[in-house]
C-alpha cells in the first residue's frame, strides 16, 4: 500500500515528513510487492550527484551520490523498524546504503544500532561484500569500524569480501581489507582459488602488490594444483609473473612448456619443474 509518506520521502520533503510523523504515520508500511518501505526508500534515493576524483591507474571517474540522509535520521528517531527487510531478496537499509555508497545514511543506521550481519536472501552476501564489490571504500570502512566479519564467506561460491574486491579489481577496498587483517588464504569452494590466484590472472599489478605486501602465500595451490604463478603464466601477465618470481614463487604441477617458451622470449626465466 502506497501512502503519503512514500512521496514525501522520495521528494525529501522534511517539513511534510515532520507533519506525518506528528500524526503517527505508519513507518513499517510497504508497497503492494513488499519491495520498498520508507526507511529503505530514503536510503536509496539519489541526490547531490558528483564525481569521485579519478584514482591512480583507473581510466574513469565514478559517480557517487547521497541518499536522503535527513529523512533517514528523522525516520529512525521516530521509531522506523531499522532492520526491516525487502520481501523478495531480504535487503535491509544497511545493505542498500552499502551498495549505493550512501555513507551518511549508513552512518545514521549504524549509530542507531542496525544489524550488520543480515545477508541477502538471494546471494547470501553481507553489507561488507556488496561494498567491496561495488567499490564503496568509505562504507567499507564504516562497517569495519563496527567490527563486521572480514572473513565471512558467502555460501554459494565461498567468496570473502577480499576475494570479491579482488575479482572486481577494486584496489582501494582490497587495501582497506588487507590492512584491517582480512584472511588472504580463504579459498573458493570449487576451484580452491585464493585472492592472489584471482588477481594473478588479471592485468592489475597494483592488486597483486597489495596482496603480497600483506603476506599472501605465493605457494598456495588451487584444487587443480595451480599456483598464482601458473595462473599469471596462463593469462600471459608478464608483470605479475615477474613480481611473483621475485617473491620466490614456483610453478605448480600443471607446468606447460608453451609458458616456458613465451616467457623466455620476453626475458623471464622460469624453471621447468
Question: Could you tell me if 61 and 147 lie in one domain?
Answer: no
Domains identified in the chain, total number: 3
- pTM of the model as a whole: 0.86
- Can you say whether the dihedral through the CA atoms of 235, 54, 44, 142 is positive or negative? positive
Q: Within this chain, do residues 272 and 206 fall inside the same structural domain, yes or no?
A: yes
Contact (CB, 8 A) for 170 and 178: no
Q: Give pLDDT, residue 57.
A: 47
Quote the cell numbers at residue 108.
545514521
pLDDT tens digit string along 6-34? 999 999 999 999 999 999 999 999 998 88
Q: How many CA atoms lie within 13 A of 58 on its CB side?
A: 15
Using alpha carbons, select from 118, 122, 127 the residue that is nearest to residue 81: 118
Residue 81, all three cell numbers: 523498524
pLDDT band at 66 (very low <50, low <70, confident <90, very high): confident
Tell me the β-bridge partners of 63: 51
CA angle 216, 220, 224 (to 5 degrees): 145
Q: Which domain holds residue 148?
A: 123-183
- The reply to whether 172 and 249 lie within a common domain is no
Residues 260, 228, single domain; the answer is yes
Report the percent of the chain where pLDDT is more than 70: 84
Choice between 55 and 77, residue whose per-residue pLDDT is larger: 77
- Residues 67 and 133 placed together within one structural domain of the fold: no
pLDDT above 50 (res 60): no
pLDDT at 231 over 70: yes
Answer yes or no: do 153 and 177 share one domain.
Answer: yes
Q: Give which of 109, 128, 110 is closest to 120, Cα–Cα.
A: 128
Q: By the 8 A CB rule, do 188 and 220 touch?
A: no
Q: Which positions ≥6 away from 116 have C-beta within 8 Å?
A: 94, 110, 126, 127, 128, 143, 146, 148
Convert the pLDDT of each residue in 100-145 to its tens digit: 999 999 999 999 999 999 999 999 999 999 999 999 999 999 999 9
As a whole number, the mean pLDDT across the chain is 88
Tell me the CATH number at 272.
1.25.40.20
Same domain, 88 and 107: yes
Identify the CA nearest to 76 among candidates 64, 67, 88, 89. Answer: 67
| Domain end among 162, 183, 204 | 183
88 and 146 co-located in one domain: no
Q: Report phi then psi at 246, rounded to 5.
A: -65, -25
Query: 107 and 22 in one domain?
Result: yes
**Does residue 74 sit in the same domain as residue 16?**
yes
Q: What's the pLDDT band for 261 if we cut at 50, 70, 90?
A: very low
Pick from 141, 43, 145: which is nearest to 95 by CA?
Answer: 43
Amino acid at each position: 500500500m502506497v501512502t503519503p509518506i512514500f512521496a514525501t520521502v522520495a521528494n525529501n520533503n522534511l517539513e511534510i515528513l515532520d507533519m506525518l510523523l506528528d500524526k503517527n504515520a505508519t513507518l513499517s508500511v510497504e508497497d503492494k510487492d513488499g519491495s520498498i518501505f520508507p526507511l529503505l526508500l530514503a536510503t536509496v534515493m539519489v541526490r547531490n550527484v558528483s564525481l569521485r576524483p579519478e584514482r591512480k591507474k583507473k581510466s574513469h571517474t565514478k559517480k557517487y551520490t547521497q541518499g536522503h540522509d535527513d529523512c533517514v535520521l528523522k525516520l529512525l528517531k521516530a521509531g522506523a523498524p531499522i532492520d526491516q527487510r525487502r520481501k523478495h531478496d531480504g535487503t535491509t537499509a544497511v545493505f542498500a546504503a552499502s551498495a549505493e555508497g550512501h555513507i551518511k545514511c549508513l552512518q545514521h543506521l549504524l549509530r542507531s544500532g542496525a544489524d550488520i550481519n543480515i545477508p541477502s536472501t538471494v546471494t547470501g552476501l553481507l553489507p561488507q561484500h556488496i561494498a567491496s564489490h561495488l567499490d564503496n571504500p568509505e562504507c567499507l570502512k564504516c562497517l569495519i569500524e563496527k567490527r563486521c566479519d572480514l572473513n565471512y564467506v558467502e555460501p554459494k561460491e565461498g567468496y570473502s569480501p577480499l576475494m570479491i574486491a579482488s575479482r572486481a579489481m577494486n584496489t582501494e577496498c582490497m587495501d582497506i581489507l588487507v590492512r584491517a587483517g582480512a584472511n588472504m588464504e580463504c579459498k573458493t569452494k570449487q576451484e580452491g582459488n585464493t585472492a592472489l590466484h584471482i588477481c594473478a590472472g588479471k592485468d592489475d599489478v597494483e592488486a597483486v602488490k597489495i596482496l603480497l605486501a600483506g603476506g599472501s602465500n605465493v605457494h598456495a595451490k588451487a584444487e587443480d594444483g595451480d599456483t598464482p604463478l601458473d595462473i599469471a603464466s596462463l593469462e600471459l601477465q608478464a608483470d605479475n609473473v615477474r613480481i611473483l618470481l621475485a617473491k620466490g614463487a614456483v610453478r605448480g604441477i600443471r607446468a606447460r612448456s608453451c609458458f616456458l617458451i613465451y616467457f623466455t622470449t620476453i626475458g623471464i626465466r622460469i624453471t621447468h619443474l
